[in-house]
Structures are given as structure tokens and as C-alpha cells.
Amino acid sequence: MSRTFRNTVQSLKKPATLVLLISDGQESWGQQLSEEGYDVVLVTYPTSTECLAAGFAEARTTLGTDTEWALLTYGLQSTDLTVAGAIVTSGKLKACVHFCPQVENGKGLIYEDVCATTIPTTFHLSAKQEILYASLLDIAEQRSLGLHTSKPPPVSIFTYPLVTVSPPFPFEAGPPIDHASGKVKTIAPYLRSANNLSYTRTLTLLRRELGPHFPLEKLWERHTYFEFEERDAMKTMATMVSTPYVNHIATMTGGVGFQDLARFYKYHFVRENVTPPDTEMITVSRTIGTDRIIDEMIFKCTHTTEIDYFLPGIKPTGKPLEIALVGVVAFRGDKLTFEHIYWDQASVLVQLGLLDPKGLPVAGAEVAHKVVDPFGVPSNALLTRWKESQGLPID
């Protein structure tokens, strides 16, 4: 009837609970969310009305009267709306998330607490669910009337192109932990996009209404301290999940999984003879989201060592180097799960004399200089037709 995954984040003493109406074979979603800091109860769905009620009864026992919790449904059918609605009186329901419900009128999917206040709800729909979307849009607008603008709307609706209604698209994509373990192989870009976006949007609601709130900035700075200050590969790995990955996009260096990434860090990243001793990292901007940090940075050094991760196979040139970087750093619970690091490799090669910029729309250190001083470095220096539009009307 039901299965429970206990929260795995050791620092949390009293985690909130998630109840998932989910199909057999999708247990990995329970493990995924337990690693985000929740106790997770899976109730098998779809099933008969009697079995669904029994599964809810087991979940109700787990919840108790004071437990804060959220309900997540996958492909909920209109015939089961009444049964699903009956559990909202258990514990303290704080949020609902619905993936591709099989209904046309969304009224029965939005609940109220004892004070007649709308339970915050997020919907993830296939773009094909046009009738349901229109229904929910009307409800969302009505529920938002009169609310202070400082409060998020109680009902949020997101649609995703090209994904299936049934089975719900997260089932086709699989949770991130299955991708990291290799259980799920390559999937279509539109499906990966829908899965990634819906997961972060779900966490946004859950974190806001239930917590837990992790100090992502401190966790990231601790990770980088072990990388660049202590230069300790195993301490760096200890800040990450058991199956992390790092991808330096331009050179495809890094590693997937604990063994490969630990090897990369130890022999090709944190060793003193890899990163030049005069390296500086300057943060230009930092954006902190629900489950990730976006860092805009400048990496400065003199190319006195062979930098495996930026310039694999290139011997030191002794030339100065300034690189504009963007890092996308994602977390699962209180640990890093991946890093995507982006930069302009053409700019790097130009600065080291390895690429002749003549006749090419590429630049050297000016790329990094314009990030730091956007008003001081002129725009469109590489746009050869820029002068042609001078003096032409812009309205």
C-alpha cells in the first residue's frame, strides 16, 4: 500500500513529510526527495478506490496530528479526487504539487485549510492539457485577487512542450539520482528540460512552505575553500553527494561519479602544480536560488603551469590570463550535486597566442574586462557593420 523513505540529511532533526501518489516502479523519486531533507511516504497509484483509501490510512498514521506535510500527485484521475481530498485533514497540509492530473476542471485539485485559506499549489502540465490549463488559470486569477503583492500567488501553473500527459513526464525522465547512477541514459532535451525545471519549481514551493532552508552560499564557499585553499581532494568530495559530477563545458573536463571526480580533483585540479600560484578568483555577481547558485566570476593568473581543466595538453606560455566564468552549482539537500562551468575558450586561446583573432569575431582579455567594466569597454568592437547604422532612426 505504502512505502516510506526517511530523510537522509543528518543535520535535520524534525523533517517535514511528503506524501506521493505514485506508480509502482517509481520508487527512486522517494529516495531523491529524502535526500532533499524530507520523510517521504509513497502511496501506490493508480489503484482501486479501496486500496487508495487504505494507502492514505497508512500515510495518515505516519503523519500524526502535528506533522507539516505536502501532497504530490502524479497523473491523479478525476474519479479519485474525493478520496485524495479526504486526506487533507491529516496533519498540517502546507502545499500541493500535481503532475499532469487526468482532469479537465481543476477546481477539485485546490484545497483550503480550516481558515478557508488556499493551500499553496503548483501544477506541472503537458502543453497538450489546454482545457485543464484554462480552468486553472481562471481559478488562479480568482484566488490571487486581494492578496498583497509581497506574497507569492497561491496557485502556480507551468506547462511544458512536447511532453506526455500519460505517463506523467517525470516517469519518463527519471529523478536526478537515477541519471547520476547511470540507471537512466540519455533522454531527449525537451524531456530533460521539463524534468529539471519542474523539479526546481517543486522545490521552490516545498522549501517556502515546509523548509528546510540550507545555507547554500556557505556550503559553496566551504567547497571552494577545500579546492583552492587547502587543496584537499577528499575534503572537497565530502561536500558533495555520493554520485556527483563536474563539467567544465568548454573542455569537457571534470568527472562523473565519485571515483572519476575524486581522481580528477586529486590529480588534475587541486594539486599545487596544476593551478598557477598567483591565481585570483573575483566574484562579479552571485544569484542564489532554491537549489542552486549562479556565480559570475573572473579567473586571473599567469600561465606558468599546465592547467589541466582549462588548457589540457598546453604547456605553460608565461602569459597573463583573464577569463570570464559562469558557474552553475546545484545542491541536493546540504551537499553539492553538480557544477557546470562556462567560459569563452576562444578568448583564452587568443590571450595565449594560440589563436589569431584577425578576421574572427573573437577577443582576448577584453572579454573579461567588459564583464567587470561594462560601461568602460566599448560595445560592438567586433561588429564590423556597426558604423552602418549610425544616425539611422531607432523608432
Residue range 216-372, CATH number: 3.10.450.50
> pLDDT-derived band of residue 31, with 50, 70 and 90 as boundaries?
very high
Residue 291 confidence (pLDDT)? 97
pLDDT in tens, 194-248: 999 999 999 999 999 999 999 999 999 999 999 989 999 999 999 999 999 999 9
Residue 357 confidence (pLDDT)? 97
> pLDDT-derived band of residue 2, with 50, 70 and 90 as boundaries?
confident
The CATH T-level fold of domain 2-210 is Rossmann fold (3.40.50)
Residue 85 confidence (pLDDT)? 74
Mean pLDDT of 32-45: 95
What b/e sequence results for 295-311 when a residue is b if at least 16 CB atoms lie within 10 Å of its CB, and e otherwise? bebbbbbebebbbbbbb
> pLDDT-derived band of residue 56, with 50, 70 and 90 as boundaries?
confident
**Which helix H or strand E contains 34, and what residues bound it?**
helix 28-34
pLDDT in tens, 91-118: 789 999 999 999 999 988 998 887 888 8
Report strand pairing: 320-332 vs 155-160.
unpaired
Mean of the per-residue pLDDT values for the chain? 92
Whether residue 183 has pLDDT greater than 80? no
CB-CB contact of 217 with 287 (8 Å): no
More confident residue, 88 or 213: 213
pLDDT in tens, 329-359: 999 999 999 999 999 999 999 999 999 999 9
> pLDDT-derived band of residue 148, with 50, 70 and 90 as boundaries?
low
DSSP assignments along 129-172, one per residue: -HHHHHHHHHHHHHHHTT--TTSPPSEEEEEETT--TTTTHHHH
> pLDDT-derived band of residue 145, with 50, 70 and 90 as boundaries?
low
Residue 180 confidence (pLDDT)? 74
- Interatomic CA distance for residues 310 and 322, integer angstroms: 12
> pLDDT-derived band of residue 150, with 50, 70 and 90 as boundaries?
low
pLDDT in tens, 307-325: 999 999 999 999 999 999 9
More confident residue, 140 or 370: 370
- Domain ranges across the chain: 2-210, 216-372
